[in-house]
Amino acid sequence: MSPHGGTARRDRAGETHSLADFLPAERRRIMDGASETRRAQMRAAEARGRVFQAWNDVCAGTREGAHVTGLHYAAESDELIVYADGATWVAELTMMREIIRARMHLRGVDVSDIKVLRSREDYIRRQPPASPAATAAAHPAARPPRKEAAPHRGLSAAEERALDDEVSAIGDTRLRDALKNAMRASLESRTAPEG
């Protein structure tokens, strides 16, 4: 015994432990000591945390994610409600919601739906003032000319089968079809037309 009442330093020598070694036991200890109501609240909070973490894994650092002002997980309907800072971003995120759902599924989190709503005007995140260079770059005259859409072609039967194989592990039919359609569109736009 050490003079401080703990195990002697030599008993710990050479052993390293991460926080992950202690978390499961500590979680069990907390859950065992809690009432059933409190345990249900903690499980709901953990589920909400997993949903938010999956969203952040998929969308943090993206141009779309930069326009998200808030998230709310409605456990009773298993829906993730996303608040965006403008009508354009509501439309864009709405179009992307099945792709985002599929990517969250690949991270082990399933939600039945993602709804995108516009944030109240007084709740929109305030951006820091732009520098004069950024303001000049945002001016339409300073923008580069728009590129024409890249030509695309249909996929071959072999490519279609490969897509089917890629998404076959997803059990939710609607999610599987949405992901396949998104992947098909991406492949078609990246593949130059033949001939």
With beta carbons less than 8 A apart as the criterion, state whether 115 and 80 touch: yes
Q: What is the pLDDT along the chain (195 residues), one digit of tens a residue?
A: 445 554 444 455 667 777 777 777 777 787 788 788 887 888 888 888 999 999 999 998 888 888 999 999 998 899 999 999 889 999 999 999 999 999 999 999 999 999 999 988 766 555 555 555 554 444 445 445 555 555 556 778 888 888 888 888 888 888 888 888 888 777 776 654 544
Helix axes 87-106, 173-190, angle to 10 degrees: 110
CA distance 69 to 182: 25
CA distance 40 to 193: 55
- Burial environment of residue 93 by CB neighbours within 10 A (0 to 12, 13 to 18, 19 or more): buried
Which of 180, 186, 131 minimizes the C-alpha distance to 160? Answer: 180
Compute the radius of gyration of the chain from its Cα atoms: 24
Model pTM score? 0.51
